[in-house]
Amino acid sequence: MRFVIVTGMSGAGKSTALNYLEDADYYCVDNLPVSLIQPFAQISADGSSSEFTKFAVGLDIRSTFAGQNVGDAIVALEKAGLKYEILFLDASDEVLLMRYKETRRTHPLAGKGGSVEDGIRREREALQYLKDRADFIIDTSRLLTKELKREIIRIFIEDQNYKDLYVTVQSFGFKYGIPADSDLLVDVRFLPNPYYVPALRPCTGNDPEIVRFVMDSDVSREFVRRYIELLLFLIPNYVAEGKNQLVVSVGCTGGRHRSVALANAIAEHLKESGEYGVRVFHRDIDKDPIRKAF
């Protein structure tokens, strides 16, 4: 029997995660009152419903924390010897605020005349107990819906290891400014620049001819090797400190050639480790495009 408590910040993707679990044959119950968590888990563990062996319960801030102590429910599960896992969906305050503005919804804890920012702050404080005890924390700030689905499948269907960290490797052009959300910044303008080769100028770092040009040097290959070693050293330490989202920004002058090729190479090496969720994003690849001649 697998029993998952799905919770997290309003707007971070809890309902979407529950839908994916339901599609994966989990018996899902959303907005279950806190007082019913332990009885429901007990019934599930007793096998009263032999049709299901996997269960997920969604905890919503509006229905589960009003005058009820979620800590008591967790203690009751542990005293009864019931195994459970907590999935916590999170996102940055800035992203949550943007999502509320886009949907024009009121935050459940904002109250009459209250601001969304106040609601987010109050909710984050109320949910800290669950976040501290979460087995899995997924930060959806930069995740596409399909990427969230991939993580849910990896954790709860394929039972792959999960390190509570999602790495975004993004390329950018310094001429357009440094990405504000960068955690680690890499300047690769020291590498050979295909922009000065007329036949290569219209291409991007996603094209094989650019990859060959940029990576066909001992300096490029040695840089990637050493930087991957550094990342593989840093990431477990970030995880130990509770970080669940890491943005690695790789920059060149225009963000079309060198940075794209290097970001792809770094992302591929991280994916090979199989330890972390990895996505790659090219911020400036389509800016000022130079078309190939026909």
Same domain for 68 and 200: no
pLDDT tens-digit readout, 144-195:
888 888 888 888 887 665 556 788 999 999 999 999 889 999 999 999 899 9
Tell me whether residue 291 is in a domain. no
Top-confidence range, 74-88, 251-265, 268-282: 251-265
CATH number at residue 104: 3.40.50.300
User: For residue range 95-143, what is the model confidence (pLDDT) as tens digits?
Assistant: 888 888 777 777 777 666 678 888 888 888 888 888 888 888 888 888 8
Long-range contacts of 107-114, Cβ-Cβ distance < 8 Å, separation of 24 or more: 107/10, 108/10, 108/60, 108/61, 108/62, 109/61
What pTM did the predictor assign? Answer: 0.67
Q: Are 176 and 262 in a shared domain?
A: yes
Q: Structurally, how many domains does the chain consist of?
A: 2
Burial status of residue 208 (CB atoms within 10 A of its CB: 0-12, 13-18, 19 or more): exposed
Residue 114 lies in a domain: yes
d(CA 250, CA 189): 10
Q: Are residues 103 and 207 in the same domain?
A: no
**CB of 65 closer than 8 Å to CB of 7:** no
User: Is 187 found in the same domain as 43?
Assistant: no
Q: Is residue 119 part of a domain?
A: yes
Question: Of 111, 134, 156, which residue is a domain's last?
Answer: 156
Establish if 194 belongs to a structural domain. Answer: yes
Quick check: is 150 in a domain?
A: yes
Residues 203 and 226 both lie in one domain: yes
pLDDT of residue 260: 96
What CA–CA distance (Å, rounded) separates 9 from 88?
A: 8
Q: Does some domain include residue 235?
A: yes
Co-location of 112 and 218 in the same domain: no
- Condensed to tens digits (0 to 9), the pLDDT of residues 76-104 reads 888 888 899 999 999 888 888 888 877 77
Domain co-membership, 137 together with 272: no
**Same domain (yes/no): 152, 17:** yes
Residue at 162 is within a domain: no
Tokens matching residue 1: 């029997």
Domain housing 48: 2-156
For the segment 237-251, the average pLDDT, to the nearest whole number, is 85
CB neighbours of residue 7 within 10 Å: 23
Residues 90 and 70 in one domain: yes
* C-alpha dist (Å) from residue 248 to 16, 100, 224: 27, 27, 13
Closest by Cα among 151, 191, 153, 189 to 167: 151
Q: Which two tokens stand for residue 188?
A: 């690769």
Q: What is the pLDDT confidence band of residue 293, given thresholds at 50, 70 and 90?
A: very low
Mean pLDDT of the chain: 85
Residues 152 and 178 in one domain: no
Does residue 192 lie within any of the structural domains?
Answer: yes
Judge if 144 and 181 occupy the same domain.
no
